[in-house]
Homo-oligomer: A and B are copies of this chain.
Amino acid sequence: MDDHVYKKLELVGSSKQSIEDAVQNAVARASKTIRNMRWFEVSETRGHIVDNQIDHWQVTVKIGFTLDQESDRA
């Protein structure tokens, strides 16, 4: 694993449920076009308030994935 190059994407996932669910939503969306995701790092946690309640969470994550194939766009 010592000669891999990884790319980090920065996404913001949302969820009415929880911080964990917001991150999972970001990971799920990324999986539609990205292969070989390996790890994530939470960099910001915030959310919207509607009618005096937390309406949804917005969590910024950096997602790291392997650039394995020649054609993978850096």
Where the two chains meet, the residues of A that have a C-beta atom closer than 8 Å to any C-beta of B are 1-16, 18-20, 23-34, 37-42, 44-49, 52-57, 60, 62-64, 67, 70-74
A6 CA to B20 CA in the complex, in Å?
A: 16
Complexed CA–CA distance, A74 and B37 (Å) = 12
Closest to A43 in B: B45
Q: How far is the CB of A29 from chain B (nearest CB, A)?
A: 4
Checking B13, B33, B53 against A73 with a beta-carbon cut-off of 8 angstroms, the contacting residue is B33
Q: Is the CB of A15 within 8 A of B40?
A: no
Asked if residues A57 and B9 are in contact (CB atoms below 8 Å), the reply is no
Distance in angstroms from A55 CB to nearest chain B CB is: 6
A52 interface neighbour in B19, B37, B45, B53, Cβ under 8 Å: B37
